[in-house]
Amino acid sequence: MAVPDYQSLMLPLLRLAGDREVRSIDSAVEATAQEFGLTDEDRRELLPSGRQRRFDNRVAWAVTYLKKAGLLESAGRGRFKITDRGMEVLRAQPPRIDVRFLERFDEFREFRNASRTRDGQGGADGGEVDQTPEEILEASYQQLRQALEQELLQRVLVCSPAFFEKLVVDLLVALGYGGSRKDAGEAVGRTGDDGIDGVIKEDRLGLDIVYIQAKRWQRTVGRPEVQSFAGSLEGKRARKGVFITTSQFTKDAIDYVGRIEKKIVLIDGPTLARLMVEHGVGVAEAATYSVRRIDLDYFDEGET
């Protein structure tokens, strides 16, 4: 099944704490995952950043919101327990607990109003039904990233051949190929067919070489072009190759490189733009947002 949204987790989490035992976030994640019948695949689903599991993130935010409403309270490092108010809510047997329900508590309204003042977001009616604040931030980042990558690729398609050569050299060096930029620049050059090729060092020591071919095309690159590239590795005394295009590779071309002995990496237009962003080629930092969490070690008053 799909990972439940964080509001759907609020009532199950409060019920879990209803025995008044101290619970850890980890144990709450396990218990609610079993209650919702989540598969291992569901549990492994990550946020767009790839740094945190989506379900774990949603459980943590559900617990945070219940704390802000005074239904749960902290009980030590990464632990929580139910409050008297939380027990009263359980005795009332509500069919669901969500942001709208929590708005009845003064502490939660103050928390929400402070959040709206800082970031301009609305409440549950403002589209925050199934996404935690962290998910909203990541989704916005991914939208900005996608738009940037699309614009980058359009810029690459209209740049001059000389600039395209410079761009590819810069990217290869950023990826760790070619040794120094001077070495890579001397080893890679234009081919005359709106592309470049060359043989560069795989690493700074030159223990192996990689044959590079890059084509600034709008038409799709098929198996014949890739097969010809694979054949040319012999003449270049190379066992490895990187084929870059600003367009796409056909499925037949992709299947072909998976069946041959030589190692060839295919980089299409979207991947080229993504690598440029990841390695800072052709882009500049516009803003940085640092998301911080409580340092539990700092507040640990146990024996050292």
Find how far residue 162's CA is from the centre of its chain: 33
Pick the more confident residue, 89 or 304: 89
The pTM (predicted TM-score) of the whole model is 0.68
HEC assignment per residue over 189-242? EECCCCEEEEEEECCCCCCCEEEEEEECCCCCECHHHHHHHHHHHHHCCCCEEE
Among 113-127, 198-212, 214-228, which range has the highest average pLDDT? 214-228
Q: pLDDT tens digits for 246-291?
A: 999 999 999 999 999 889 999 999 999 999 999 999 998 887 777 7
Low-confidence winner among 23-27, 80-84, 156-160, 262-266 (lowest mean pLDDT): 156-160
Do 102 and 110 meet the contact criterion of CB atoms below 8 Å apart? no
Residue position matching structure tokens 């199950």: 12
Low-confidence winner among 111-115, 149-153, 177-181 (lowest mean pLDDT): 177-181
Question: What domains can you pick out in the chain, each with its CATH number?
Answer: 6-122 (1.10.10), 160-278 (3.40.1340.10)
Q: Within 10 Å of residue 35's Cβ, how many Cβ atoms?
A: 14
Do 36 and 90 meet the contact criterion of CB atoms below 8 Å apart? no
Amino acid symbol at 260:
I
Reference 131, options 33, 32, 54; nearest CA is: 54
Do 257 and 226 meet the contact criterion of CB atoms below 8 Å apart? yes
Q: pLDDT tens digits for 25-65?
A: 999 999 999 999 999 999 999 887 787 899 999 999 999 99
